[in-house]
Structure 1
Amino acid sequence: MRNDLIIFHLPPNGGTTSPTLPMKFKLISSLFTCLAFTVLHAAPQRPPNLIVILADDLGWGELGCFGQQLIQTPRLDRMAAEGMRFTQFYSGATVCAPSRSVLMTGLHQGRTRIRGNSTNPTKLALHSGDLTVAEFLKSAGYRNGVFGKWGLGESGPAASGLPLRKGFETFFGYLNHYHAHNHFPDHLWRNEERLPLPNRARAVGDFGGSVTDDPVLFADDLITDEVLKFIGRHQHEPFFVYWSPVLPHANNERTTTQGNGAQVPDFGPYAGRDWPEQDKGHAAMITRLDSYVGRLIDHLRLLGLDQNTIVLFSSDNGPHNESKHNLARFRPAGPFTGTKRSLTEGGIRVPTIAWGPGLVPAGVTSGHAAYLGDWFATAAELAGAKAPEGLNSVSFAAAMQGRPADQAAHDFLYWEFNERGFSQAVLYKGHWKFIRTTHPTRSVRLHDLENDPSEAKNVAAEHADIVASIEAYLTTARRDDPAWPATTRID
């Protein structure tokens, strides 16, 4: 429907419009018409579309733009060249479920609902009172879709955390972490309906894991298609896409039964390498993930959305070795120590890229210390809304937009690990790294990351004042939760 304002000029005798009106009346008429057209057609500034891509178990050093030499990631490397690399960006936790809970709630691991991995689905479910960034953005006018691995609620007793009950209107992927181990599953979920697939999976273990010996459809191929369809459907309105591919996570059950958890449709450019199949498969997973990101960027450009969309690429935690591939070959943690399930930098520092032509400066590297929990406040600022009170979230929009002088910083960042004896980690002032553990014995470590990024030297004894400041913070950092008792807490 056209909104043009048409003005008729009636002559004094009430007849039809005269084509011979004096010139000044014609000019006035044209002026009012133009002004009316401008007012009626002017639209308010549309907030940017927001996309988070969260890789699964991808290490800091597994992308070419972060120093990888053997695994090919040309599209992510180009994304970094056209955008910004964050070199000190952290996951929400060192394992999957709590890291995703931190991302969704903007609360660190001592405050968020889900604080560890578990075989009990009710412990891995968000509650109705847990505000997610999707619920917040929905109230700000965004259309929200989540694709891939959810892991924060499923049917049955854990249904309070289902995606469609936590602010998303569309979901396609896996609900259960163990189900997501299999890249060739016999079903996926569309919203809250089970969608059968032609893969014939057989159950392994008691928690939903499986293996597929005659694979047909690779789940992340299907999931990528759904992401692009959602964007196409909602291209004319603000949208938030949370895309959580299951690459390069291993199929742990396949590793247990067959010795190789890196099951992919093909080995791609690594087929001719003189490597074990586990190494070929792991590298192929990352290169396949890279191609998905390239498809997304191409799709945004095709639809003309690239100039008003911000894409954040990151990982849920550090690299794994659950495919039994050769860590020494790939050096997935880069210069850092540790892997998934470690609170050292290798377990929680993750490769992160922000991209958005015209919104994010190109070819820039930021050393701002941030973590996944900061996405909530960042998304709120980008959407033009005020973030809720009480979050452990500091917007990094200023850093991402090339305004480092305006960027606020955390005094403290917090992590914990519950599965192998209770342990805690704190980043203080961006470079003091503190780890306190009771497994296997009580220990306190402090590292100066500016001079010791590999955390080789414990300087706790030389900096008792820093240790005291961090330990004082720890007395209030964690809120007790009966589902996640710190049974081996250090008092």
Structure 2
Amino acid sequence: MSVRAVDLVTCRRFLLCPPCFGLAVGWLTLLLAAVLPADSLSAATSNRPNLIFILADDLGYGDLGCYGQELIQTPRLDQMAAEGMRFTDFYAGNTVCAPSRSVLMTGQHMGHTHVRGNAGGPDMSIQSLREQDFTVAELLKSAGYTTGLCGKWGLGDEAPGGRSGLPRRQGFDFFYGYLNQVHAHNYYPEFLWRNETRVPLANEVQRMDRTYGGFTGGWATKRQEYSHDLIAGQALDFIRENAKEDSPPFFLYLALTIPHANNEGTRATGNGQEVPDYGPYADRPWPDPDKGQAAMVSRMDADVGKILDLLAQLNIDQNTVVMFSSDNGPHDEGGHDTERFDPAGPLRGMKRDLYEGGIRVPMIVRWPAKTPSGTTSDHVGYFGDLMATAADLAGVKCPDNVDSISFLPTLSGHPDQQKEHEFLYWEFYEQGGKQAVRSGNWKAIRQPWGTGDTALYDLSEDLGETQDVSDQHPDQVERMQAMMDRAHVSHPDWQPRGRLPAQSP
């Protein structure tokens, strides 16, 4: 059995029992107070930074001004990049939602993590984290952090088979938002979840004929309460409530739904980019879905700015690490013209591709006390690295059974001390199955899975993956295929051949 992050508590159920866990933390505090000088104990608890991870949904590598976007206004994220660090070679866990988030939460790449695709069907067990899965939230909770999730979860559900993955069974003290992915399509839903309780909203929804995990999606015929605004407001409240001087550090996972389309709304009205108003784009000579796409991204940008402003107002910005990224590449599901905004920038592909446009994502980190401002890093990292980085930030041991390397040295301005991955690995179970691996500047894609040809690209010369050079470098192809074979560990729920899960929402 692998060693967990903290050896004090070895029973996971014990961690999930608030009275027992609180008693254990109290005992530990008393023990440390007895054996350590008071100033040492104070330093040990006060020097750990807060951590906020903001995740956009289907935001492309080229959707932000600081990554080359020219039509959509993102002044606050551009400012965040100017005040922090912008990563050029950072990757999502996968090219669609649930598996990407599983990689983020577990620190395990696609060949190891439990949730490897969007499941479909009534049984949500294969898309839900299990009791034995260990998350970043559990790691930080065990280190004394207060943990909160606002937004879209997608790794546990009220449906049969999904309850083991509910957020508060996976390390979060507080949850507000969506559990089910198709529910999260609708920006004007009839309810949201607060912990395990449905909170009714004033919207009225026309149901469609498609269910996902027992939930039937739809689009609103009466629009009163916009879910993104509610989720952003809850995130601000969580920060306020946990910013008191004597409060422990906090971890906030803000999993926004913007700019994901309401796919049911697209089918019903032709416009899945739901937003209360078109803001600065109202008078542009564009179709409404284009205005909606741009307005959604700018609305998200403004709310990131509200978070940064609140941290400054509360005088905790110096000791708060804020990370911003996206769960995968850009979508083309909302009725908007993707060519207008060029959301993948210089990259090839989009969501559901294993080309760079499907998996390379924006990553911005702001930590005024440690991270050099206005810097750009070409460190090759990915979602799984959050686990080791969070462990370093919290001063605890990272679990052994993860595929995670801390990028804290890079964040702290010490790139010479940064460890690197031998390779990054992805696998995807739709469209016949496909695999990809990056090692150094080499990128290989094999499709269909295991039996298809392997294309090879030199990203240092061909960022757009336009020239397959596999014929010129058969040795590299063989090396990359061996990495794919080594990275994949078979899973009974996810088979590269035979039955494939339903197409992602």
The yes-or-no answer on 1:224 pairing with 2:232 is yes
Letter matched to residue 165 of structure 1 = R
Provide, for residues 216-272 of structure 1, a one-character-per-residue CA deviation record: whole Å limited to 9, x for no partner. Answer: 110010111111111111113200000001000000001111111011000000000
Provide, for residues 18-59 of structure 1, a one-character-per-residue CA deviation record: whole Å limited to 9, x for no partner. Answer: xxxxxxxxxxxxxxxxxxx99599543430001100000000
In structure 2, how many angstroms separate the alpha carbons of the residues matched to 1:348 and 1:95?
9
Equivalence map 1:129-278=2 (5 Å) = 129-157=132-160, 158-204=162-208, 205-207=210-212, 208-235=216-243, 236-278=247-289
Query: Is 307-316 or 109-118 further displaced after alignment?
Result: 109-118
Which of 280, 296, 301 is matched with 1:285 structurally? 296
1:87 aligned partner: 88
The yes-or-no answer on 1:124 pairing with 2:135 is no
Provide, for residues 275-311 of structure 1, a one-character-per-residue CA deviation record: whole Å limited to 9, x for no partner. Answer: 0001000000000000110000011111111010001
How far off is 1:439 after superposition? 7.7
- Label 1:41 to 1:393 Cα distance change in 2 as closer, same or farther (>3 A): closer
- Residues 123, 483 of structure 1: 8 Å contact kept: yes
Aligned to 2:258, the other structure's residue is in SS state coil
The yes-or-no answer on 1:445 pairing with 2:455 is yes
In structure 2, how many angstroms separate the alpha carbons of the residues matched to 1:282 and 1:334?
16
1:472 aligned partner: 482
Query: Is 281-290 or 45-54 further displaced after alignment?
Result: 45-54
Aligned to 1:209, the other structure's residue is in SS state strand
In structure 1, how many angstroms separate the alpha carbons of the residues matched to 2:275 and 2:450?
37
In structure 2, how many angstroms separate the alpha carbons of the residues matched to 1:390 and 1:441?
29
Aligned to 2:211, the other structure's residue is in SS state coil
Equivalence map 1:300-379=2 (5 Å) = 300-379=311-390
- Label 1:462 to 1:377 Cα distance change in 2 as closer, same or farther (>3 A): same
Letter matched to residue 368 of structure 2 = P
Query: Is 472-481 or 284-293 further displaced after alignment?
Result: 472-481
Question: Which has more radius of gyration?
Answer: 1
In structure 2, how many angstroms separate the alpha carbons of the residues matched to 1:101 and 1:418?
15
Aligned residues between the structures: 452
TM-score, with length taken from structure 1: 0.90
How far off is 1:324 after superposition? 1.6
- Residues 89, 349 of structure 1: 8 Å contact kept: yes
- Residues 422, 488 of structure 1: 8 Å contact kept: no
Letter matched to residue 446 of structure 2 = R
Aligned to 2:150, the other structure's residue is in SS state strand
- Residues 86, 377 of structure 2: 8 Å contact kept: yes
How far off is 1:441 after superposition? 8.3
- Label 1:312 to 1:395 Cα distance change in 2 as closer, same or farther (>3 A): same
Aligned to 2:386, the other structure's residue is in SS state helix
After TM superposition, the runs of 4+ consecutive aligned structure 1 residues lying more than 6 A away are none
Query: Is 203-212 or 349-358 further displaced after alignment?
Result: 203-212
Provide, for residues 309-367 of structure 1, a one-character-per-residue CA deviation record: whole Å limited to 9, x for no partner. Answer: 00110000000011121111100000000000000000000011000111211000000
Provide, for residues 98-141 of structure 1, a one-character-per-residue CA deviation record: whole Å limited to 9, x for no partner. Answer: 00000000000111011011213222100000000111111111
Equivalence map 1:399-418=2 (5 Å) = 399-418=410-429
Aligned to 1:433, the other structure's residue is in SS state strand
How far off is 1:488 after superposition? 6.1
In structure 2, how many angstroms separate the alpha carbons of the residues matched to 1:388 and 1:436?
30
- Residues 117, 419 of structure 1: 8 Å contact kept: no
Letter matched to residue 68 of structure 1 = Q
In structure 2, how many angstroms separate the alpha carbons of the residues matched to 1:470 and 1:146?
37
- Label 1:41 to 1:107 Cα distance change in 2 as closer, same or farther (>3 A): closer
Letter matched to residue 375 of structure 1 = L
- Label 1:286 to 1:39 Cα distance change in 2 as closer, same or farther (>3 A): closer
- Residues 205, 218 of structure 2: 8 Å contact kept: yes
1:15 aligned partner: none
Letter matched to residue 237 of structure 1 = P
- Residues 436, 484 of structure 2: 8 Å contact kept: no
TM-score, with length taken from structure 2: 0.87
- Residues 437, 483 of structure 2: 8 Å contact kept: no
